[in-house]
Amino acid sequence: MVSRLRWPTVAIALLSIILSIAVVGCAGRTIHIFNTQQKTNQWLLPVWRNHFDTRELSLLVGTSATTIVLNLILVVALFIAAAPANIIVVLASFLGTICSATALIFTAVLNHRSPMTDTIQTWTCRWTTSLSRDGAPDNFNTLCNETRFAFYTMIPLFVLQAILLTLAFGVMTGSRAESKAARLYDEPEKGVHELGSIRNASFDTKSEGSPKTAKTRVQIVAN
């Protein structure tokens, strides 16, 4: 498991980091434009603060930034021998899954409340429909695309975090099974062959070169 699943786990975590950075960039830029133009833009942006709900963008930025940190911790833990990698991977992937699911659900609920209460996404995208495209304010088409991108990118981000969580639980289960089989190894002629199907069931790098593991593998090959 160490050599077989560590690198796929790292690849998935790095892809999650890239998607999270993209979400932070798009949502953060939209918030910046809103904050800087709400009192000067000719398209009645001074009233935005009273009419628009911007919590979805703040949540997207916050949860994506948190996901970046969690995945960085996960990746680092996989290459530190002294770290309890199995536990860290489970916790980091679980929290990342919760963050992405919360942002996705909460943003969808806020957008569904339109037009009673608009978000920046629902308002700017309404201006860029085929009927009003010619009269759309400057940057509204860009803001619409960026907010949509930030929202819909949370879907694959959630899927990736769920995959990481599934892998983490699988490794944790396999690690416990390996520990149980190792205890059976101490009993004469009992459970030796069971070890052949549960090899390397851990993210922990320190488990790779243990003398007991090496002895077990030699006996499995001999049998």
Task: Walk along the chain (223 residues) and give the pLDDT tens digit of each residue.
Answer: 445 778 889 999 999 999 999 999 999 999 888 888 777 766 665 555 567 788 889 999 999 999 999 999 999 988 887 878 888 989 999 999 999 999 999 999 988 887 677 888 888 888 766 555 555 666 788 888 999 999 999 999 999 999 999 988 887 776 555 555 555 555 544 444 444 444 455 666 555 545 554 454 445 444 4
pLDDT of residue 189: 47
pLDDT of residue 81: 79
pLDDT of residue 53: 82
Map out the domains of the chain as residue ranges: 2-173
pLDDT of residue 190: 46
Q: Find, among 213, 166, 158, 171, the residue nearest to 78 by Cα.
A: 171
pTM equals 0.75
pLDDT of residue 22: 96
pLDDT of residue 178: 54
Phi, then psi, of 138 in degrees rounded to 5: -60, 140
